[in-house]
Structure 1
């Protein structure tokens, strides 16, 4: 950042190539009218670094219209911005919106701790989704989500979400979001998925750390986590906005323990 610049743009959780991921503006310092600065940044998400030292980072996160509170993507962008400055250890606490989330640098990517994930198989009527023959699980890393496996990548990418159908299924299963997934994927992904949450206020999320953590738990109870490594790559396949996420995990009989999720954040000039 040059003396004339006030913020830098980052692409967060992006797959290889020039597109995808989430765009975040990172501001060095949190002073003045933060909401006005966020609105002028040209990014859908802006994060302001209030303080940073070897043990912790304090952030405030805004959309162009309001303060967001917490954002994994915002935290990952801020950590990537600060790390070359030499002010952070490889393990730090990130404070946002009154919450504290541990973060660690792993293989050049920052990961945020999502916690332990539990998962169990459940019977559910999937016909309102237009999904036939699918198997469903309820998985939770603090918020219960319904995970449904589809036949292949074509079925995943061809799915057309219906907010009413998804909301009805979530209410019927006492869950808050829907994850559709299939094994494998582009760029040597271990698993591909899409994440929906009309009950949370959005139809589809392009990069969801919490939902990927839940999916890791489902893969744990079905015996499909890697056995030669404790890392897994996920390709999130929202049409027109692909993302790639990395998770670190400890296998557990009822899901996965100590799950951390993150990915790369690269500075770019819009």
Structure 2
């Protein structure tokens, strides 16, 4: 294999029959100049497999300009690739950026453990968002996000983000990102949402496991998690880049704990 070759290209978290989600290049070895190999791959995200056995995998993740500490999308692509090679069991530990994240295969989709979610209602002036809103909550799993409900999916799709307004609202509520959501959605989605993070260095994310986990926590404390199942489908609706995420949750009296998030990762043509 030359330094410019990739073993596989994956489309991660894309809705069925729709071009969306994220594209990830998988390299089965982590040798040579990894940043140069990433730049040559022409993929927005590249994952290098440092080591792998039946119980776990160690990864390094790069964008075309720098190394990232971790990426859930990158991990899902690597897990799908290694599963296709017969390398992994149905449970594994993923090491990225010095952190270890448990993973499990569920219904043909890999899910990554996000952790226990805490969520509480918050009073905030939401008028700078320029959209009619319902309740607001601060939800956290490793970092706090402001989660705000809007009336319906149409309102969600029509929202135009303003980086300054969102940043000011995050600072006022001691949060790092904003999640807007509405019940239901296309493709049998239980909930639809969009995720924004100008304080994190991006205006809108097309597929955010952490922010979806925070939303699951809010649905838990408001008594709106599905009954009769521990799975929930979320449609992330960034314009032009839709994604579908799956959450597995363990209900708790004060919300949703032990949330896992993941979804489909399919090999695509080069």
Q: 2:243 matched to which residue of 1?
A: 243
Q: Corresponding residue for 1:261?
A: 261
Q: How far is the alpha carbon of 1:142 from its aligned partner?
A: 1.3
Distance (whole Å) between structure 1 residues aligned to residue 28 and residue 8 of structure 2? 9
- 1:13 aligns to 2:45 (yes or no): no
The Cα of 1:252 is off from its aligned counterpart by: 1.5
Q: Give the drift of 1:132.
A: 2.6
Distance 1:5 1:198, change over 3 A: closer
Alignment match, 1:106: 106
Partner SS state of residue 232, structure 2:
strand
- Residue of structure 1 in register with 2:97 after alignment: 97
Q: Deviations over 1:122-166 (max 9, x none)?
A: 111000001234210110111110000001011000000000000
Normalising by structure 2, what TM-score?
0.97
2:198 — aligned with what? 198
Equivalence for 1:118: 118
5 Å-filtered alignment, 1:65-144, equals 65-144=65-144
Q: Counterparts of 2:261 and 2:253 in 1: how far apart (Å)? A: 20
Post-superposition CA distance 1:221-249 (Å, at most 9, x none): 11110111000000000000000000000
Other-structure match for 2:189: 189
Asked if the contact 1:7/1:28 (under 8 Å) is kept, the reply is yes
Question: How far apart, CA to CA, are the structure 1 residues paired with 2:75 and 2:178?
Answer: 24
Contact 1:120 1:254 in 2 (8 A): no
Q: What's the TM-score, normalizing by structure 1?
A: 0.97
CA distance in 2, matches of 1:165, 1:212: 21
Which residue in the other structure is 1:29 paired with?
29
Contact (CA 8 Å) 2:92, 2:104: kept in 1 or not? Answer: yes
> Which position in structure 1 is the counterpart of 2:53?
53
Query: Take 2:127 and 2:48, find their aligned partners in 1: how far apart are those partners?
Result: 44
Is the Cα–Cα contact under 8 Å of residues 13 and 207 in structure 1 kept in the other structure?
yes
CA contact (8 A) 1:126 1:134 kept: no
Q: Secondary structure, in 3 states, of the residue corresponding to 2:27?
A: strand
Does 1:175 find its partner at 2:175? Answer: yes
**Runs of 4 or more off by more than 2 Å in structure 1?**
4-7, 131-134
**Aligned partners of 1:226, 1:45: CA distance in 2, in Å?**
33
Q: Which runs of 5+ in 1 are unaligned?
A: none
SS of alignment partner, residue 92 of structure 1:
strand
CA deviation profile, 1:74-109 (whole Å, cap 9, x unmatched): 000000000021111111100011111000000000
Aligned CA-pair RMSD: 1.2
